Amino acid sequence: MGKNYKIAVMGGDGTGPEVTAEGVKVLKAAADKFNFSLQLTDFDYGGERYLRTGEVLPENAAEELKKHDAVFLGAIGHPEVKPGVLEKGILLNLRFALDQYINLRPVILYPNVDTPLKDKGPEDINFVVVRENTEGLYAGAGGVLKKGTPDEVAVQESINTRKGVERCIRFAFDYARKRNRKKTVTLCGKTNVLTFAFDLWERAFYEVAEEYPDIKTEYAHVDAICMWMVKNPEWFDVIVTDNMFGDIITDLGAMIQGGMGIAAGGNINPAGVSMFEPIGGSAPKYTGKNVINPLAAIGAAQMMMDHLGETEAAQAIENSIKYVVADKLDSLSAGKMGYGTTEVGDMVAENL
């Protein structure tokens, strides 16, 4: 008998529960086929629970989640809750509390998927972004003075620790080695303006690089990265960057790989509990209509199994996603797939 995995399932808000349900469907099919078992526990953290109880997260949430091998998350964000409350209170809070210091976001264009980039195909768009996930502008440092007056001052500081930066960079180098493609890590920064933060990043980057003589290094400013992700995405293999830049460039990445319907990511603590999620939001307007694309969530489930060491199952899920995308769906957009959410999940599960 294979291993048993304890998975915490947090469907969350909007279409989150619909897409995690399809991810779970595929995980169960993979468990049968690849001889492992799953112990799934649902957690109702999200906007509905907050509106009902007034509590964003119970105090022991992180401790509860730590009892699992991984967390499978749908989406956080509710139209009746002020922006920021749930995002900071749940998503960022858990990323920090579980010390998920890497946000790993593959940008891979599957065959037959439309990219808005003219003359670019799957051979050109195949890289990953390693986003620092616990520091930078997201750390919440700063404050406000004289709020609401003409003299108001707002300061939001980017926190970069040597330890935090270095462990992120090291992960990127290890990942480039494991990926074994171009064996190149590109540091995405802004050394010409953010001369404190990215000086630290740059020094750490080249110091760590010395431990990886087999990996090539590149550097580009974040604005140039945006340009090249559109013009020459084939240049990239592994991009490492801070939290804010990583947030921004991965939405651009999601678009060139076919949109939010397919983009998945993992919040990773290599020594702890990691959390996998589709990178799009809760898409409230599509809730309950069986039209949202579950492939990003299924892709997140695939990353989760890969992370847990079920590489064969992960490969089979990826192959099945590729097959369904290439041979079945009309489009990756909500409502235009030619199939409903549950049918897409069925097809991926059946074709493992």
Total length of the chain? 352
User: CB nearest Mn ion: which residue?
Assistant: 247
Asked if residues 283 and 335 have their Cβ atoms less than 8 Å apart, the reply is: no
Answer yes or no whether residue 277 interacts with Mn ion by CB under 5 A: no
**Would you count residue 247 as binding Mn ion (CB under 5 A)?**
yes
Closest CB to Mn ion among residues 233, 253: 253
CB of 6 to ligand IPM, least distance (A): 24
The footprint of ligand IPM (CB under 6 A) covers 87, 91-92, 247, 279
CB of 342 to Mn ion, least distance (A): 27
When the beta carbons of 74 and 345 are compared against Mn ion, the nearer one is 74
Residue closer to ligand IPM by CB (options 21, 244) is 244
* Contact partner at residue 91 from ligand IPM, Mn ion, none, CB < 5 to 8 Å by partner kind: ligand IPM
- For residue 248, the minimal CB distance to Mn ion (Å) is 8
Between 105 and 190, whose beta carbon lies closer to Mn ion?
Answer: 105
Query: Under a CB-based contact definition with an 8 Å cutoff, are residues 220 and 188 in contact?
Result: yes
Enumerate the H helices of the chain as residue ranges.
16-34, 47-53, 61-65, 85-86, 93-97, 162-179, 197-209, 222-231, 243-256, 295-308, 311-327, 341-350
**Residue 16 vs 30, nearer CB to ligand IPM:** 16
Considering CB under 5 A, how many residues would be counted as binding Mn ion?
A: 1
- Residue closer to ligand IPM, measured from CB, 126 or 250: 250
87 contact, one of ligand IPM, Mn ion, none, CB 5-8 Å limit per kind: ligand IPM
Give the Cα separation of 290 and 334 in Å (integer).
9
Q: By Cβ distance, which residue is nearest to ligand IPM? A: 87
Nearer to ligand IPM, 215 or 334 (CB): 334
258: Cβ contacts below 8 Å, ≥ 6 apart: 109, 110, 113, 114, 115, 332
Which window, 128-136, 170-178, 216-224, 243-251, contacts Mn ion (CB under 5 A)?
A: 243-251
| Phi, psi dihedrals of residue 56, rounded to the nearest 5° | -70, -50
> Is residue 108 helix, strand or coil?
strand
Given a contact cutoff of 8 angstroms between Cβ atoms, the answer to whether 20 and 9 are in contact is yes
Measured distance CA(162)–CA(174) in Å, rounded: 18
Q: Taking the complex as a whole, how short is the minimal distance between the CB of residue 298 and ligand IPM, in angstroms?
A: 18
Nearest to 128 by CA among 169, 198, 175, 165: 175
Distance of closest approach, residue 247 Cβ to Mn ion, in angstroms:
4
Site for Mn ion, rule CB under 5 A: 247
